[in-house]
Structure 1
Amino acid sequence: MSAEVFIDTNVFIYHLDATDPRKHAVAEQIVRDGLATGNACISFQVVQECLNTATRKAEVALDTDAARSYMDTVLIPLLQVPASAALYHRALDVRARWQFSFYDALIVAAALAAGCSRLISEDLQHGQRVDSLTIHNPFRA
């Protein structure tokens, strides 16, 4: 398992939601490139958060068939990091060392476990380095 880029949940939400055209276009490019190159990945947590948000909290919620289609064509092809005891232990270490919330630490731990050098996320500090990982916010103005 080795990808260069780990994509956080918010990218997929913007990919699904065209309310903000600029963020939607950025997300569209990230997802398209990730699928085309095979050089991007996500974890089980991103799948769960995306489906939860897209089916319950989104401006226009996806119905079951649309959610399943998105999962099968976009999320599952990028899924490389499953849940494991080792991942949870690493997340706790990341949380303690870097003072992230547990869920953010779990995303960072998954990106590190996948061997990624870049984490694309709107939720963390742009440019921050966590071991071999650099956080990149493509949505910043």
Structure 2
Amino acid sequence: MPGSFFDSNILLYSASSDDDKADRAEALIVRGGTVSAQVLNEVANVARRKMHLTWVETRDLLLPFRKLLTITPVTEAIHNHGLRLAERHGFAIYDSMIVAAAIAAHCDTLWSEDMHHDLTVESVLTIRNPFA
């Protein structure tokens, strides 16, 4: 069943001081969707390194995402597909792993602020910037 997949930047914007972006991100997230374990790891990294959150605050930040969204692992097959996508489309490696995970999860939309807005990958997944 088609659905939404979220890049880490969308999850992080839901906690942003930019009210417009926070509201838009939150409205998308509460509708549900999918993230990969990699996305949660990226959010945790930013929470600790850039937002200077404690471990408790970091876990609290991640908890709603873990409850609202389906979490998919990054498998060897996703890794291999991600490498092919990076080569074919020029994606950064971590971005290509997110695209591959979204395709593997049968999502039709990948919400991301910093990937190629309106690019359709393999005729099944369209990257959309919710702030464009």
Instruction: Give the TM-score of the pair, scaled to structure 1.
Output: 0.85
Judging changes above 3 Å, is the alpha-carbon distance between structure 1 residues 49 and 68 closer, same or farther for their aligned structure 2 residues?
same
Q: After alignment, is 5-14 or 79-88 more displaced?
A: 79-88
Judging changes above 3 Å, is the alpha-carbon distance between structure 1 residues 3 and 67 closer, same or farther for their aligned structure 2 residues?
farther
Would you say how many aligned residue pairs link Structure 1 and Structure 2? 131
Q: After alignment, is 23-32 or 107-116 more displaced?
A: 23-32
- Measured against aligned partners, the alpha-carbon deviations of 1:5-55 in whole angstroms (never above 9, x if no partner) come to 10110011111122x121111111112222xxxxx0000110000011012
Look up the match of 2:34: 41
Three-state SS of the structure 2 residue aligned to 1:73 is: helix
1:128 has 2:119 as partner: yes
The whole-number CA distance in structure 1 between the counterparts of 2:81 and 2:97 is: 8
Look up the match of 1:37: none
Three-state SS of the structure 2 residue aligned to 1:16 is: coil
Look up the match of 2:13: 14
Q: After alignment, is 41-50 or 9-18 more displaced?
A: 9-18
Tell me the percent identity.
36
Judging changes above 3 Å, is the alpha-carbon distance between structure 1 residues 71 and 31 closer, same or farther for their aligned structure 2 residues?
same
Judging changes above 3 Å, is the alpha-carbon distance between structure 1 residues 68 and 3 closer, same or farther for their aligned structure 2 residues?
farther
Q: Which amino acid aligns with 2:126?
A: T
Look up the match of 1:91: 82
1:63 has 2:26 as partner: no
Matches within 5 A, 1:108-127: 108-127=99-118
| Cα deviation, residue 70, structure 1 | 2.6
Residue segments in structure 2 that go unaligned for 5+ positions in a row: none
Structure 1 contact 121–137 (Cα < 8 Å) conserved: yes
The counterpart of 2:29, out of the listed 15, 26, 31, is 31
Look up the match of 1:102: 93
Structure 2 contact 30–68 (Cα < 8 Å) conserved: no
Structure 1 contact 3–41 (Cα < 8 Å) conserved: no
Q: Which amino acid aligns with 2:39?
A: V
Instruction: Give the TM-score of the pair, scaled to structure 2.
Output: 0.91
